[in-house]
Amino acid sequence: MKFFVDTGDIAEIKDLASTGLLDGVTTNPTLIAQSGKNFLKLIAEICEVVQGPVSAEVAATDYATMLKEGQKLAKIAKNVAVKVPLTPDGLKVCKALSDNGTQVNVTLCFSAAQALLAAKAGATFISPFVGRLDDVGQDGMLLIKEIMDIYTAYPKTIKTEVLVASIRHPIHLIAAAKMGAHVATIPPKVIRQLYAHPLTDKGLAAFVSDWQKTGQTILDAA
């Protein structure tokens, strides 16, 4: 599974990229607003840090303007994935951009039917929002299973990757990985939660304590 980080914080992106665990970045208007930075300059900066896909979302909702915005975003860097909403006009833009070799991330997916439409339109990625479905009393992970079942039934014709979005905790991530989802876009906080386990902390504390008792140092040893 590929790990994308879902943030517009360039410091967070640089820190996580240094671990070698980061395969891409997703942003959205909310994250851009939180960053307080110029949108186009921020996307260009992120693309210099991360070699993988960087999702940049259009702001318009009509076909003509979305297409122009998408074309402008695609020119920022080769690894930009233009993000469009799962609407009739959004899918038209997806088709036009993908036919010209631009990566497209179709966002705000909440049903398997929508995911099938995005694949037919040539989407590079489909972004189903599991956490938001959980918030309204539905099973977000069931949607991932339904999409994976459909996509894997047509391996020769469907090349769209399932990019699990709105991940709230590590359980979402592990469940998605077990289903074979291609990508997860994860908030920085949740990525750091993946490291944590009380037995790791306890074991490390014991090792450090026992090493100190030896009175030795590795760097100063002959």
Report the relative pairing of strands 54-57 and 183-186 from DSSP bridges: unpaired
Check 72, 75, 83, 189 and give the catalytic one. 83
**d(Cα 15, Cα 188) in Å, to the nearest integer?**
10
Residues linked to residue 98 through DSSP beta bridges, in sequence order: none
Spell out where 155-217 has E strands: 161-164, 183-186
Task: Judge whether 120 counts as a catalytic residue.
Answer: no
Number of CB atoms found within 10 A of residue 189's CB: 11
**Hey, what are 174's tokens?**
């592990």
**d(Cα 174, Cα 9) in Å, to the nearest integer?**
25
**Which residues belong to the active site?**
83
